[in-house]
Every structure is written in structure tokens, then in C-alpha cells.
Amino acid sequence: MRIANVKIALYALLVAAIVVCLFAFVYSQTLGSTKQIQAGIVVRYPMLGQFGVYWNYECTNPVTSIDFGEVPQPRNWMYLSKTFYIRNEQVGHRIWVYWNSTLRDVTTEISESWISNGTIIESGSVYYAYYSLSLPPNATLGTYNWTLTIWAEY
């Protein structure tokens, strides 16, 4: 009878050790893995012909969408940015470039900024710009898609 109790106790201890090791492994894999946040936006130009938005200074590669791709789960504040160039294609007129976004309709966790809202660009000139995102630590994972609208007035 005593040997049976000892065997049961040893089996219980062995099962408990296996469960604890398995739990520790799963927990460590969860902490160490890079979970993904898919973020992409579509760029729209309401009035074509006034200006162009390009990936390169030579203005040969137009921006039609911006994809931040798969982003690892941020443990600290994470900043992502994309650089591009805006060319005033109005002959003889300066333009004021503005932007708006639907990101706030998608999430309030991710914030955005743009270095050229209301910027004046002279006729034929190319202006350096960037669009950036700020992700807080432990941002909610998911797929985020929104529209960035860029327009110009003259």
C-alpha cells in the first residue's frame, strides 16, 4: 500500500514538472516572438495635374500606396516613417500642399505626423516630405488600412 502511494506521488510530481516546463516554454516563446502589425495606406490625389508625389527626387517613381509592412510588436515607443518627394507641376503657380487621413477612424492607438501640411511649393520645385507613425508599447495587433489624402491649392 505504501509503495503504491509513493508511486502515485512520484507520477504526480513528474506530471507537475512536465506541465511547469511546458508552461515555461510556451510563456518564453510568447514573450520572445515578434508578433506582427500589418500597416498600409492608400494615397489619393483628388486633383491630378497640380502636383506629384514620388519615391525619388528625380520624380520618376510615383507613390500610389505606402506600406509599412510587418512591424514587430513594440516594447517601447516605435517610430516608422516613409520619405518621399512632392513636385509642383503647375506652370507659373505656387501651390500649398495639405493632407488628411482616416487613421483615427481605424485606431486611436497609432498616431501620425507629416512634415509639410500647408507647405508652399514654387512652380517646378521638388519638396522633401515624410509621413510617420508612432506606435505605443504593446500596441494592439491587427491589420490597419486607411486612406491618406494629399491635395494642393493655388
9-12 CB contacts, 8 Å cutoff, 24+ apart: none
Average pLDDT over every residue of 14-23: 42
Neighbours of 152 (CB within 10 A): 22
pLDDT of residue 7: 54
- Classify residue 129 as exposed, middle or buried by CB count within 10 Å of its CB (0-12, 13-18, 19+): buried
In angstroms, the CA 98 to CA 114 distance is: 9
pLDDT of residue 141: 72
Q: How many CA atoms lie within 13 A of 83 on its CB side?
A: 5
Band the pLDDT of 82: cuts 50, 70, 90: very high
Residue 97 pLDDT exceeds 80 = yes
CA 50 to chain centre: 28
pLDDT of residue 21: 40
Find out whether 60 and 54 touch, Cβ atoms under 8 Å.
yes
Q: What percent of the chain has pLDDT over 90?
A: 25
Average pLDDT of the residues of the chain: 76
In angstroms, the CA 108 to CA 102 distance is: 11
| DSSP 8-state code for residue 107 | -
Q: How far apart are the first and last CA of the chain?
A: 95
Band the pLDDT of 121: cuts 50, 70, 90: very high
Band the pLDDT of 66: cuts 50, 70, 90: confident
The CA-based dihedral angle spanning residues 29, 30, 33, 37, taken in that order and rounded to the nearest 10 degrees: 160
Helices then strands, counting H and E runs in the chain, come out as 2, 9
